[in-house]
Amino acid sequence: MRPNKPAVWAMLALCAGSTRAATIAVDVGHYLAAPGATSAYGETEFGYNLALAKVVAQRLRADGHIVLLIGASGDMDNLKARPAMADGVDLFISIHHDSVQERYLSTWTVAGKTQRYSDISHGYSVFVSKDNPYYAESLGCAEAVGKAMKRAGFAPNLHHVINEAGEGYVVLDPDLAVYQSSLIVVKYATVPALLLEAGVIINRDEALTIKQPATRLRIADAVASAMRCLKP
Ligand SMILES: [Zn+2]
């Protein structure tokens, strides 16, 4: 248990009846008015993030963890408020779905509407910030999530390794698609933090497979199994 954990979290953890229960913030990336990426079928990333975050939260609660779901109402427009809400938890996990740079996009027609897509990349990636005060712990959990996702059959997305203009990420573990970044939510978290890009929704196949209930459960299982990264 972290020494700076507020009393309320300690109480909740005790109520969970397990000394191994952790307090975990699950952050729904983006919000309704600025919903992030758009899928190859015109759906918003926020919708994907919310659906997956709910499944992940439910799965973690089933393991006895105390889960704080952040941004589920879709009106959280202040990025720095997200990690601030998670002050004192054991781990902050931000849930996202990925896209690619503009120059890779092509167009196609879906249900009579022009949509943009790119099949150049697919798979998951995990991001941590060296500016986070718990960088080592963040990296440990990011590697655990990357390993668990790979073991569950998901592909590490190495597209960010290309590191072209607009990417700006440094790969820390190419086998597991773990990257260093200065993304706000992981940088400003006062607790160990990681951001999971669960899949690439601008990819025409992955936009469909990643939203299958069975796929979301597999991702949630992988995240839950990785929570062994948290020391009791
Ligand atoms: Zn996003």
The whole-number pLDDT of residue 210 equals: 98
Q: How much distance in Å is there from the Cα of 28 to the middle of ligand 1?
A: 9
Q: How much distance in Å is there from the Cα of 195 to the middle of ligand 1?
A: 9
157 assigned to some structural domain:
yes
The whole-number pLDDT of residue 14 equals: 46
Q: How much distance in Å is there from the Cα of 231 to the middle of ligand 1?
A: 28
Burial of 92 (0-12, 13-18, 19+ CB in 10 A): buried
* CA pseudo-torsion sign 55, 167, 32, 138: positive
Residue 69 three-state SS: strand
pLDDT tens for the chain, 232 residues long, are: 444 445 455 445 444 444 368 999 999 999 999 999 999 999 999 999 999 999 999 999 999 999 999 999 999 999 999 999 999 999 999 999 999 989 999 999 999 999 999 999 999 999 999 999 999 999 999 999 999 999 999 999 988 776 555 566 888 999 999 999 888 899 999 999 999 999 999 999 999 999 999 999 999 999 999 999 997 7
Total number of domains constituting the chain: 1
Q: How much distance in Å is there from the Cα of 48 to the middle of ligand 1?
A: 10
HSE value, Cβ hemisphere, 13 Å, CA-based, for 84: 5
CATH number at residue 146: 3.40.630.40
213 assigned to some structural domain:
yes
The whole-number pLDDT of residue 18 equals: 40
The whole-number pLDDT of residue 164 equals: 59
Domain span at residue 31 reads 19-229
5 assigned to some structural domain:
no
The whole-number pLDDT of residue 231 equals: 77
Q: How much distance in Å is there from the Cα of 172 to the middle of ligand 1?
A: 20
The whole-number pLDDT of residue 162 equals: 65
Q: Are 24 and 188 in contact (CB under 8 A)?
A: no
| Token representation of residue 219 | 């991702």
Q: Please write the tens of the pLDDT for every residue from 2-46.
A: 444 454 554 454 444 443 689 999 999 999 999 999 999 999 999
pTM of the entire predicted model: 0.91
Q: How much distance in Å is there from the Cα of 153 to the middle of ligand 1?
A: 22
Q: How much distance in Å is there from the Cα of 14 to the middle of ligand 1?
A: 34
Q: How much distance in Å is there from the Cα of 26 to the middle of ligand 1?
A: 14
1 assigned to some structural domain:
no
Q: How much distance in Å is there from the Cα of 125 to the middle of ligand 1?
A: 12
Residues 150-175 as b/e (b if ≥16 CB within 10 A, e otherwise) read beeebbbbebbbeeeeeeebebbeee
Q: Please write the tens of the pLDDT for every residue from 52-61.
A: 999 999 999 9
Surrounding ion ligand 1 within 5 Å at CB are 29, 36, 96
The whole-number pLDDT of residue 159 equals: 84
Q: How much distance in Å is there from the Cα of 52 to the middle of ligand 1?
A: 13
Task: Report how far residue 45's alpha carbon sits from residue 196's, in angstroms, rounded to the nearest whole number.
Answer: 13
143 assigned to some structural domain:
yes
Determine the length of the chain: 232
The whole-number pLDDT of residue 203 equals: 98
Task: Report how far residue 187's alpha carbon sits from residue 138's, in angstroms, rounded to the nearest whole number.
Answer: 10
89 assigned to some structural domain:
yes
The whole-number pLDDT of residue 165 equals: 56
70 assigned to some structural domain:
yes
Q: How much distance in Å is there from the Cα of 5 to the middle of ligand 1?
A: 28
2 assigned to some structural domain:
no
- DSSP letter for 1, please: -
- Helices vs. strands in the chain: H and E counts, helices first: 7, 9
Q: How much distance in Å is there from the Cα of 179 to the middle of ligand 1?
A: 15
Q: How much distance in Å is there from the Cα of 37 to the middle of ligand 1?
A: 6
